[in-house]
Chain A
Amino acid sequence: MSEIRQPLLDVRGLCKIHAQGRWWEHKFLVRALDNVNLVLPANRTLALIGDSGAGKTTLAMCLTGLEQPDAGTILFEGKDITKIDRKKARGFPEIQLIFQNSTDALSPRMSALEIVEEPLLIRGSLARTECQQQALAAMEQVGIPGSCSNRLPHELSGGQRQRLAIARAIVSRPKLLILDEPLSGLDLSIQGQITNLLLDLKDAYQLSFLYISHNLELVCRIADEVAIMRRGKIVDQAAPAAILASSKRSHLPALVPSAPASSSRRGASAGA
């Protein structure tokens, strides 16, 4: 952490315009990001909520340098990272992204261990054996036993694949982890396990999370702050309780209420 209390991530006036339509069609411009401002203090979780097409993933891509923004600055610990030549710098390990669909993001032809050690090998600062050790340690930490290290991604369960993606992200010791829908398609119980793992890692490594999701109820349980994005703009940013309260009144469809009040369930189990 720096001496002066500067935020870990400070996004100012970020814009990204996509042109849609093929060459023979009339092109129209989509403002995927429209003057986005975000501040994320160190060791905090900021949740980003929005419908599909709101620009959440584009923002994640810009932050990790996979897309170049058209305007605006991204200050990471005070440095503007839009100016960094990523190819020369061989990536930017301080910010790691966990993709929306981990199954598609893992190479089907690489074993679990190879997947996790790849980022270390690409950076090339460590010897091969050391990379392997660190990769195994990271896998241990996310709860993938060493016996699975030679398996291919399709031989792992959905929850294990997600753990593998997390291991690949933390192996380069990031400060900021961008999680793009990390729980979509997973069972409720596994969602809980993965979320708890992420929270444990956050405490262990002093990580910050930018948590992209459309599950308002869930993020309100884990985030320190929630930002709502619509059509490329951040339209609201507040504490989880305030967002939840306002969503009940307004436009944002919250989870369909289903679970009966916990008191009645306790009564039920006591009676059984």
Chain B
Amino acid sequence: MASWIDRQKNVLDFTLSSLLRRKGKNLALLAVYTLLVFLMASVMLATSAIRKEASTVLREAPEMVVQRTVAGRQDPIPLAYLEKIRDIAGVVSSDGRLWGYYYDPVVGANYTLLVPREDGPDPGTVTIGPGVARARMASTGDTLEFKGASGALIELVVGDILSTDSELVASDLVLLSAADYGAIFGPADGLATDLVVRVANPRELQTIALKIAERFPDTRIILRDEMLRTYDAVFSWRGGILAILLFGVVLAFVIVSWDKASGLSQEERREIGILKAVGWETSDVILMKFWEGAVVSLSAYFIGVLLAYIHVFFFSARLFAPVLKGWAVLYPQFRLIPFIDASQLTALFFLTVVPYAVATIIPSWRASVTDPDAVMKGIR
């Protein structure tokens, strides 16, 4: 066993000195390889972290939302529905929500205006999300102007700015009082934008949803799980689009590495001839070339993944943020919570390290099975 380990150490030692002898070429290869792994790993880490983040935030969302639709479009829902919903067995609570979208022509962005059920701002004041604060360069005490339903300008003072911890969903949020909401969007007496329903047993969600749909045929029910699936699909789709774009880079790298690996230089062939002539077996040469491929590809893999980790979790995936986050104007700025999907990193390993190691070994095997007497005949 000790002899086996020493043999590996000796061959690895020779491999490292071989790599250092062709420093320029190998460093260039390592740089390209690392860049490729970095790009792929960044997309993977960012996508899975955003999905994770979204699911964490949505865990706090209501289990069920009831909306009214008229001619296929959402319409304010009468608060009178609440009583009948509360009568359904299994429903713990049911409340109306007031919210809407407001287009701000000053910055060309859409805000989500929401009246909180409790602890909302006082009339005349708003609490804004970090994205709105950045877009309007507003801080606490500043005044924001909104165009009301009557055409009059409504001035609201910024009372507070939401924490950046929840920026993924709160970036474009403006919290305001019901009175101010009515002034901006028009009176909503006896109406709500939608209703949120909480149930005692999550297993009964589907049953209760069916009952609500039966009692109120003009409503549509949105379950939290459906929202989670939608988020999941959206971010997976965005990640997929990026992966497809990067596929071209992968293909280019495969061609370059295959070309490099399949065409051993005259110097490398001569070296293999010398090694064979002085007593190295074919398996020793292949072992050496395996280590060579492994050192380059593993280094590229680990450096690339490490850089991607730093890029995604310390610099918020700046390279891909516009594509992955998807907001048009108010891009949420947030630091993703480190989350690594081991299966994705394993897939990346098999897509990058393994093909390169194989591509390196095959031509070396072909060169090393030739008779070593070629070196006696003066290969240079």
Partners in one complex: no
Chain A residues at the B interface, C-beta cutoff of 8 Å? none
